Amino acid sequence: MLKIFKRNIKSKYQERLKKSFPKELYSDLNEVFKILPFDNNQVRLRDGQTHKVDNLIHESELNIKFNNENLIIPYRLYFNEPNPELEKSLTDKQKDILNCIYLRHHNGYLREKRLNLISASSENWTVPFIIQLVGEYVYELLPIIDKKINENTLDYYAQFRDENPRYWQQTESRMISYWNAYYRYQFPKLKEYLGFEIMNRIKIQTHKNCYE
């Protein structure tokens, strides 16, 4: 009975994660699933202690559009990291998929680690995972994101903004709220805050593309 339960919960996790990525990535995603520790629900939380977590994927979700596909990305997840040796067996694309999954992790230090690991030549499907971090509270992620949104990738973000106006507005509002609550003393003017500069750069590129 326990094996059946574990198999069902593993299948549930896989189905939820599949909804986070374009269908064209499903074969690579299945390879990533092979190394994810779905069966381990003993998780180290913010208090530094290990706790049993009944559901490794939070119920809250992000709904976005990507190239006319509807994607549903978990807001937070609690998986432990996979065995590093197993990670080495993945292709570069599969590693980026894995890193994107962990950008939704509850641990901010782990999100920072995984963000740094996303390849410089990342593809456009990484955009929803990266841009979500701009609207969150960890400032230390912004300089990393700033480097990843460059002349080679800026159009990806502009296209994503154009396809997701409501989500973009919500993310921008959250970014401003966190600036106001936590970083206004350090950056008295909103335009000096890196999160605002990043989103404004994408907005300018979106308008530029409209007139080309």
pLDDT for res 172: 97
C-alpha dihedral over 70, 110, 43, 95, to 10 degrees? 60
pLDDT for res 7: 61
Instruction: Give, in degrees to the nearest 5, the angle at Cα 145 between 212 and 26.
Output: 80
DSSP characters over 137-198: S-GGGHHHHHHHSSTTTHHHHHHHHHH-HHHHHHHHHHHHHHIIIIITTTSSSGGGSHHHHH
- In Å, how far are 81, 144, 190, 198 from 202, measured between CA atoms? 32, 16, 16, 7
The two beta strands, 42-44 and 61-66, are unpaired
The Cα–Cα gap between 11 and 113 comes to 27
- pTM, two decimal places: 0.92
What average pLDDT values come out for the chain (212 residues) when binned by 10 residues?
Answer: 57 95 97 93 76 88 96 95 95 97 95 94 92 95 95 94 96 97 96 97 82 55
| DSSP summary character for residue 82 | P
* Total H helices, total E strands in the chain: 10, 4
pLDDT for res 6: 56
pLDDT for res 4: 40
User: By 3-state DSSP, what share of the chain in percent is helix, strand and coil, each rounded to 5?
Assistant: 60, 10, 30
pLDDT for res 19: 97
| DSSP summary character for residue 89 | T
